[in-house]
Chains A and B, each alone.
Chain A
Amino acid sequence: MRWYCLNTNTHGCRRIVVSRGRLRRLLWILLTLSAVGLILWQCAELLMNYYSASVSVTVQFQKLPFPAVTICNINPYKYSAMKEYLSELDKETKKALETFYGFSEGKSKVRRSVDDWNSTGSDFFQQIPLLKVEDFSRTATELHSGQKRRVEGSVFHKDSSIVNSGDSNDIIGFQLCDANNSSDCALYTFSSGVNAIQEWYKLHYMNIMAQIPLETKEKLSYSADDLILTCFFDGLSCDKRHFTRFHHPLHGNCYTFNSGENGTILSTSTGGSEYGLHVVLYIDEADYNPFLVTSTGAKIIVHDQNEYPFIEDIGTEIETAAATSIGMHFTRSRKLSKPYSDCTETGADIPVENLYNKSYSLQICLHSCFQKAMVDSCGCAQYAQPLPPGAEYCNYKKNPNWMYCYYRLHEKFVKEQLGCQQICKDACSFKEWALTTSIAQWPSMVSEDWMLRVLSWDKGQKLNKKLNKTDLANLMVFYKDLNERFISENPANTLVILLSNFGGQLGLWMSCSVVCVIEIVEVFLIDSLSIVLRRQWQKAKKWWSHRQRGRAGKAPQGSDPERQGHDNPTPVSIDEDLPTFTTALRLPLPQDSPLPRTPPPNYSTLRLDTAFTEQLPDTLEMGRH
Chain B
Amino acid sequence: MAPLRAGLMAFLLATGSSMNLKKYLVRALHRLQKGPGYTYKELLVWYCDNTNTHGPKRIIKEGPKKKLIWFFLTLLFASLVFWQWGILINTYLSYNVTSSLSIGFKTMKFPAVTVCNANPFKYSEVKPLLKELDRLIEAALERILQPENSSDIVSPPLDLELWNQIPLVLIDEHDKDNPIILDIFETNQTAVGNERGMDNETRCSHQGSENCTYRNFSSAAQAVTEWYVLQSTSILSKVPLHDRIRMGYQAEDMILACLYGAEPCNYKNFTQIYHPDHGNCYIFNWGMDEEALNSSNPGAEFGLKLILDISQQDYIPYLSSAAGARLMLHQQKSFPFLKDQGIYAMAGTETSIGVLVDELERMGYPYSDCTMNGSDVPVKNLYSQYNTSYSIQACLRSCFQNHMVEICGCGHYMFPLPEGVNYCNNEDYPGWAYCYSSLTSSIKQRQICIDSCKETCNDTQYKMTISMADWPSEASQDWIFHILSYERDMSTNVTLDRNGIIKLNIYFQEYNYRTISESAATTIVWLLSSLGGQFGFWMGGSVLCLVEFGEIIIDSLWITIIHLISWCKGLQQRRARARYPDVPPTVSELAHTNLGFQHEAGGAGLGAQALPPEPGTPPPNYDSLRVQPLDTLGPDSDTDTE
Other-chain residue from A444, A513, A584, A586 in contact with B321 (beta carbon distance below 8 A) = A444
In B189-240, the 8 Å CB interface with A consists of 194, 196, 215-222, 224
- Asked if A500 and B533 make an inter-chain contact with CB atoms under 8 angstroms apart, the answer reads yes
Q: How far is the CB of B470 from chain A (nearest CB, A)?
A: 13
Q: How far does the Cβ of A451 sit from chain B's closest Cβ, in whole Å?
A: 6
B63 near A451 (CB under 8 angstroms)? no
Q: Does A441 contact B (CB under 8 A)?
A: yes
B321→A61 contact, CB < 8 A: no
Q: Which of B525-558 contact A (CB under 8 A)?
A: 529-542
How many residues on chain B are close to A (CB under 8 Å)? 111
Among A58, A269, A504, contact of B533 (Cβ-Cβ < 8 Å): A504
Q: Is B183 an interface residue (CB 8 A)?
A: no
Within 8 A of B (CB), among A181-237: 229-232, 235-237
With a cutoff of 8 Å between Cβ atoms, the chain B residues found around residue A62 in the complex are 450
Q: A445-B315, A518-B73, A586-B42 are in contact. Are A272 and B450 (CB under 8 A)?
A: no
Enumerate chain B residues within 8 angstroms of A300, measured Cβ to Cβ: none
Total interface residues on A, CB under 8 Å, equals 93
Q: Mark A344-372, 1 if CB is under 8 A from B, else 0.
A: 00000000000000000000000000000
Interface positions, chain B 459-479, Cβ under 8 Å from A, are 459, 461, 463-464, 466, 468
Task: Say whether A180 faces chain B, with CB atoms less than 8 Å apart.
Answer: no
A472 to chain B, nearest CB (A): 10
Given A59-B459, A269-B446, A323-B322, CB of A454 within 8 Å of CB of B440 = no
Cβ–Cβ contact A56 & B98, under 8 A: yes
Per the bound structure, the CA–CA distance linking A460 and B197 in Å amounts to 9
B594 within 8 A of A: no
Among listed B33-41, B246-254, B559-567, interface-contacting one: B33-41
Contacts of A44 in B (CB 8 A): none
Residues of B within 8 A of A239 (CB): 218
CB pair A511 B540 closer than 8 Å: yes
Tell whether, in the assembled complex, residue A500 and residue B532 are in contact, meaning their CB atoms are under 8 Å apart: yes
CA distance A272 to B441 in the complex (A): 15
* B99 and A231 contacting across the interface, CB-CB below 8 Å: no
Cα–Cα distance between A520 and B463 once the two chains are bound (Å): 60
Is B304 in the interface zone, CB < 8 Å from A?
Answer: no
Chain A residue nearest to B54 (CB atoms) is A515
Which residue of A is nearest B326, CB measured?
Answer: A440
Query: A273: CB under 8 A from chain B?
Result: yes
B301 at the interface (CB under 8 A from A): no
Residues from 597 to 642 in B contacting A, C-beta threshold 8 Å: 629, 633, 636-637, 640-641
Asked if A597 is at the interface (CB within 8 A of a chain B CB), the reply is: no
Residues of B within 8 A of A55 (CB): 98-99, 101
Per the 8 Å Cβ criterion, residues 430-475 of A in contact with B are 434, 436-447, 449-451, 453-455, 457-458, 460-461, 474
Q: Would you call B481 an interface residue if the criterion is a C-beta within 8 Å of the partner chain's C-beta atoms?
A: no
Contact across chains for A443 and B533 when beta carbons are under 8 A apart: no
Which chain B positions have C-beta within 8 A of A447? 315, 317-318, 320-321
Question: Quick one: closest B residue to A583, CB to CB?
Answer: B41
**Cα separation A580 to B64 with both chains bound (whole Å):** 10
Cβ–Cβ contact A440 & B344, under 8 A: yes
Interface membership of B576, Cβ < 8 A: no
Q: Which of B284-292, B333-341, B422-430 contacts A (4 or more CB under 8 A)?
A: B333-341
Is B346's CB within 8 Å of the partner chain A?
yes
- Report Cα–Cα, A584/B362, bound state, in Å: 60
Name the contact of B396 in the complex, choosing from A270, A458, A485, A602 (C-beta under 8 A): A270
Out of B340, B447, B518, B641, name the residue touching A602 (CB < 8 Å). B641
Residues on the A chain within 8 Å of B441, using CB: 235-236
Q: Which residue of A lies closest to B325 (CB)?
A: A440
Q: Which residues of chain A are near B1, meaning CB under 8 Å?
A: none
* Neighbour of A481 across the interface among B84, B218, B341, B640, CB < 8 A: B341
Min Cβ gap A581→B in Å is 7
A374 within 8 Å of B by Cβ?
no
> A399 CB to closest chain B CB, in angstroms?
45
**Nearest-Cβ distance from residue B490 to partner chain A, whole angstroms:** 26
Residue A512 interfacial (CB < 8 Å): yes
Task: State A577–B317 Cα separation when bound (angstroms).
Answer: 106
* CB atoms of B529 and A230 under 8 A apart: no
Q: How far is the CA of A269 from the CA of B636 in the complex (A)?
A: 76
Q: A271-B393, A447-B318 are in contact. Are A514 and B77 (CB under 8 A)?
A: yes
A606 touches B641 (CB 8 A): yes
| B467 → A minimal CB distance (Å) | 11
| B221 near A580: Cβ-Cβ < 8 Å | no
> What chain B residues lie within 8 Å of A507 (beta carbons)?
532-533, 536-537, 540, 542
In chain B, what residue has the closest Cβ to A479?
B340
| B26 contacts partner chain A, Cβ-Cβ < 8 Å | no
- Residue A483 interfacial (CB < 8 Å): yes
A-B contacts at CB below 8 angstroms, number: 283
Residue A31 interfacial (CB < 8 Å): no
- Closest residue of chain A to B38, judged by CB? A586
Contacts of A455 in B (CB 8 A): 219, 221
Cβ of A175 under 8 Å from chain B: no
Chain A positions within 8 Å of B57 at CB level: 9
> In the assembled complex, how far is the CB of residue B211 from the closest CB belonging to chain A, in whole angstroms?
20
Residue of B whose beta carbon sits closest to that of A588: B630
Q: Which of B94-152 contact A (CB under 8 A)?
A: 96-99, 101, 118-119, 123, 141, 144-145
B87 at the binding interface (Cβ < 8 Å): yes
User: Is A496 an interface position by the 8 A CB rule?
Assistant: yes
Contact A230-B222, Cβ < 8 Å, known A496-B84, A507-B533:
yes
Asked if B569 is an interface residue, CB under 8 A from chain A, the answer is: no
Note all chain A residues with C-beta closer than 8 A to B532. 500, 503-504, 507
Contact B455 A450 (CB under 8 A): no
Whether B521 contacts A327 by the Cβ 8 Å rule is: no
Chain A residues with Cβ under 8 A from B531's Cβ?
A: 500
CB distance from A154 to the nearest CB of B (A): 40
Docked-complex contact A237 and B466, CB < 8 angstroms:
no
Do B218 and A237 touch across chains, with their CB atoms under 8 A apart?
yes
Residues of A within 8 A of B280 (CB): none
A444 touching B42 in the complex, CB below 8 Å, given contacts A61-B392, A325-B343, A515-B54: no
Q: Is A179 an interface residue, CB under 8 A from the partner?
A: no
If A441-B323, A496-B84 touch, does A506 touch B537 (CB 8 Å cutoff)?
yes
Contact B362 A500 (CB under 8 A): no
Instruction: Decide: A442 near B323, CB < 8 A? Known: A61-B454, A496-B84, A497-B530.
Output: yes
A7 close to B (CB within 8 Å): yes
B45 to chain A: which residues have CB within 8 Å? Answer: 580-581, 584-585
Which residue of B is nearest A512, CB measured? Answer: B540
With beta carbons under 8 angstroms apart, the residue of A58, A434, A439, A482 that contacts B368 is: A58
**Least CB distance, B168 to chain A, in whole angstroms:** 12
Query: Once the chains are docked, how many angstroms separate the CA of A9 from the CA of B45?
Result: 18
Contacts of A480 in B (CB 8 A): 340-341
A 259-288 contacts with B by CB, 8 A: 269-274, 280
Chain A residues with CB under 8 A of B499: 441, 445
A259 CA to B309 CA, complexed, in Å: 41
- Cross-chain pairs A/B with CB under 8 angstroms, 23 sampled: A56-B97, A327-B343, A438-B343, A439-B346, A440-B118, A440-B324, A442-B323, A446-B315, A450-B317, A450-B318, A458-B219, A460-B196, A494-B87, A499-B538, A500-B537, A501-B530, A507-B533, A513-B541, A514-B537, A515-B538, A577-B63, A581-B45, A587-B633
- By a beta-carbon cutoff of 8 Å, the part of chain B in contact with chain A is 37-39, 41-42, 45, 49, 54-55, 57-58, 60-61, 63, 73, 77, 84, 87-88, 91, 96-99, 101, 118-119, 123, 141, 144-145, 194, 196, 215-222, 224, 312-313, 315-318, 320-324, 337, 339-348, 351, 360, 362, 368, 370, 392-393, 396, 440-441, 443, 446-447, 450, 453-455, 459, 461, 463-464, 466, 468, 499, 516, 518, 521, 529-542, 629, 633, 636-637, 640-641
**Nearest 4 CB-CB pairings of A with B:** A503-B537, A500-B533, A513-B540, A444-B323
* Other A-B pairs beyond A458-B221, A581-B640, 16, CB < 8 Å: A62-B450, A230-B221, A235-B441, A323-B324, A327-B343, A440-B324, A444-B317, A446-B313, A451-B321, A455-B221, A497-B530, A500-B88, A503-B535, A504-B537, A513-B537, A585-B37
